[in-house]
Amino acid sequence: MKIGPEIKPALLGAAGGAVVLAIVGFAWGGWVTGATAREQAEKNADTAVVSVLSPICAIQFNAQPDSAAKLAELTALSSYQQPKFIEEGGWAVMPGAEDAVSGVSRGCAAILTTET
């Protein structure tokens, strides 16, 4: 196929414009690929679940008879040891579940230690 000399600059301009549009869109326009959108959606969903379940964990922690003593133990631990303490105590396990949801013990510890 032969392209006339008057069409060639228009085609090159359209191709160049498409490339520039893609670069601007992905760099500054907020465009993302499908995989990136899925990753962001999963991260947002995990964050939402943790933010809903962490207060339930704190309520379960405070409902125990010796909660004041356990809270003193919790606050005496370093911040990286606190989630394990919450998990081992079973407060991060939601009613009807067998295991704790990832991140709930960290959120629960943050709630409990900021209340004091």
Instruction: Please give the model's pTM, rounded to 2 decimal places.
Output: 0.70
Condensed to tens digits (0 to 9), the pLDDT of residues 40-94 reads 999 999 999 999 999 999 999 999 999 999 999 999 999 999 999 999 999 999 9
Q: What is the DSSP letter of 18?
A: H
Decide if pLDDT at 1 tops 90: no
Decide if pLDDT at 104 tops 90: yes
pLDDT value, residue 23: 94
> Cα 19 to chain center, whole Å?
33
Condensed to tens digits (0 to 9), the pLDDT of residues 2-21 reads 777 888 889 999 999 999 99
CA count, 13 A, side-chain hemisphere, 34: 0
pLDDT value, residue 116: 52
Phi-psi region of 96 (alpha: psi -120 to 50; beta: other; left: phi over 0): left
